[in-house]
Amino acid sequence: MIFSKDSRATSWVESANDSQYPIQNLPYGVFSNSGSSPRVGVALGDQVVDLCALHEAGLFSETSVGSENVFANDALNDFMAMGVEAWRSVRRQLVALLIAERTTDACDVAIEPNTTLREDAGLREKALVTRANVQMHLPSRVGNFVDFYSSKEHATNIGSMFRDPSNPLLPNWVHIPIGYNGRSSSVVVSGTDIVRPSGQTKADAAESPTFGPCRLLDIELEIGFLTGPANKLGSPIPADKAADHLFGMVLVNDWSARDIQKWEYVPLGPFLGKSFATSVSPWVVSLDALAPFRVAQPKQDPPVLPYLRTDGDWGFDIDLRVHLKTATMSEGDTICRTNFKYMYWTIAQQLIHQASNGTNVEPGDLYGSGTVSGPTPDSYGSLIELCWKGTKPIKLSSGEERKFLADGDTVILSGCCHAPNYQVGFGKVCGTVTPAR
């Protein structure tokens, strides 16, 4: 069920209609409340719609998700594995249950309300849970985590700092989506404290390295996507099938220890400087909810190889922000405003390239975009860029300055798509830095 960008559709759940979680969004997440086991729901205004309860009430046809209640699980993986037809069927049935009145705002389809939930007080009490009272969990069991380096602006900035300002991009960057397979065990849900990592570092003037707490702790503002059905080991995913394997998108903060990273990354790449924590937002926004906000991706020059060529627009107009709150501040400052539409390599190309050698993608895998940076200094998605390698400290409203993160600092990433009459929000992903152990 894809709504038009001009949609005026509303829900009978009134809090949804002036919210980042309107009827046009319906992001999936895993929640628990009052000591209950984790289960699957969707966000709607200030409520969580309990999909486990709706399935138990027989409100999803067996043809869409089957008789086994996949929404009673503590992760979305089994639902993700069912594929795009099941996802769309469930979304279509949810919209019918939650929409206020008949509408033709969906693309080429009239939506007829199903009043079963609205008119059953007992079921409403069971299936609608106040969002402020729930605990959110990781949306999927992340078996594999992949992190890319897909912003041309970010790669140019980093190359200018550490390589050659006149030739910042390595020759392969415009031909291949650069990435690495990271560590999934340290992927955590928003709100989890981030312990300052320790590791080997070496000062430029020192003869030998030392071991101790990271001094240059950084963030990376990213958008991630979670995968759907698996491909067989040895079988690539062709470009025209990529969308069938893309379940939805989340916010990602891929924390980075820049001093540890600098010492260890040559010759093999990211290791301890990147593996200590990756934070994700709890709500997964579906590709159908994001469809009205598709835009053309930046021109890729030179043209990519045939296996990476996709049809249609694969950019997404997602407004992204980074907020920094120190331990002395009651409110944080916005230190970055950027947009996902600037990304050079698309999520489809990232997935296609990962599987091009026959890698088997699994349901619930997490793929990070790499730092999202825009064309202006206030749109850079990491502190190393915002402070230009520590030479331009950020001045905060509290009078404090930051080059990199201090203990007690809280970083909050947010994202939202804006239509004339509604918003599709990602919520937030936050983490507070605690001292090294």
Catalytic site positions: 154
- Which token pair is 173? 């960057």
Location of structure tokens 């949804």: 16
Q: Which residues pair with 320 in a beta bridge?
A: 338, 415
Rounded Cα distance, 98 and 3, in Å: 14
Beta bridge partners of 148: 179
Contacts of 157 (CB under 8 A, 6+ apart): 168, 373, 380, 385
Helix (H) or strand (E) holding 105: strand 103-106
Within 206-268, where are the H helices? 258-264
The Cα–Cα gap between 373 and 298 comes to 13
> Within its chain, how far is the Cα of 202 from the centroid?
33
d(CA 267, CA 83): 39
Buried b (16+ CB within 10 A) or exposed e, 321-359: bbbbbbeebeebbebbebbbbbbbbbbbbbbbbbbbeeb
- How far is it, in rounded angstroms, from Cα 40 to Cα 29? 6
Neighbours of 40 (CB within 10 A): 26
Task: For residue 204, give every residue at least 6 positions away whose Cβ sits within 8 Å of its Cβ, in sequence order, or none.
Answer: none
How far is 416 from 425, CA to CA, in rounded Å?
Answer: 4
Residue 301 CB partners (closer than 8 Å, separation 6+): 174
What single-letter DSSP state applies at residue 299?
P
In the block, residue with structure tokens 């296996």: 307
Q: How far apart are CA 221 and CA 36, in angstroms?
A: 33
Helix (H) or strand (E) holding 116: helix 116-119
Instruction: Tell how far CA 219 is from the center of its chain.
Output: 14
Q: Measure the CA–CA gap between 117 and 234, rounded to whole angstroms.
A: 45
Sign of CA dihedral 351, 355, 356, 357: positive
- Distance between terminal CA atoms of the chain? 48
Place of tokens 């947009």: 339
Do 371 and 381 contact (CB within 8 A), yes or no? yes
DSSP classification of residue 162: H
